[in-house]
Amino acid sequence: MGKTAIVIGATGLVGEELVNQLMGSEKFKSIKIFARKSSGFKHQKIEEHIINFDEPTDWTSMVIGDILFSTLGTTIKTAKTKENQYRVDFTYQYEFAKAAMQNGVSTFVLISSLGANPNSSVFYSRMKGELDEAIAKLPFKKTVILRPSILDGNRKEKRPAEKISLAIMRHLTKFILKKYRPMPVDVLASRMIQESLDSTSGINVIEGIDIF
């Protein structure tokens, strides 16, 4: 029998690629997507739940399955304030992970960020580090935290500055600064699935270039 995957962040760059790969995998019989708006996925494996992350009592009991994948996240541009970004990037993910753990989900795979550090003076890096630290304390049988560099994929929204940065980073990291090599989202999603199916237990943090 295949496994049941739970996905939050399915409408994002990594999340879309992850769901596409899960749909094509014989290892997974069903995919539960939790999102604040429809993901648009139509497939026999998909079970979609439209929820308000601010109302956990409405959805906690539905977070049931084998593996939780979180690719949830937002930008300060979209969130408008650091408080809003923290709520999405930390609070929503932590509360969802806690619900999954309490409901017997055995494995959690989280996308963090290169440079995540709870003691960082940089807000984004500190926020990601705080989440990694909090998640590591939840007693999942297996926890995988991946910390990719800048994501490389086709976004729906236009990000001209990011496009320029990617072009520069692709060139530079061929020769130097290799740990900052841009991360193709198909490679990242594939590694998420691979790690989720590995039989080892405990906490595994995978940094930057090691994801390749």
Q: Is 40 left (phi over 0), alpha (psi -120 to 50) or beta?
A: left
Whether residue 70 is predicted with pLDDT greater than 90 in this model: the reply is yes
Residue 143, beta-bridge partner list? 108, 203
Tens of pLDDT along 85-144? Answer: 999 999 999 999 999 999 999 999 999 999 999 999 999 999 999 999 999 999 999 999
**Token duo for residue 201:** 């237990």
Mean pLDDT, all residues of the chain:
91
The residues spanned by each domain of the chain are 3-150+183-211
* Domain 3-150+183-211, second-level architecture: 3-Layer(aba) Sandwich (3.40)
Beta bridge partners of 46: 31
What percent of the chain has a predicted confidence (pLDDT) above 70?
A: 87
Give the whole-angstrom CA distance, residue 18 versus residue 28: 12
What pTM was computed for the model?
Answer: 0.89
- The answer to whether residue 161 scores a pLDDT higher than 80 is no
User: What pLDDT sits at residue 26?
Assistant: 96
pLDDT value for 160:
63
Contact 93, 112 (CB under 8 A): no
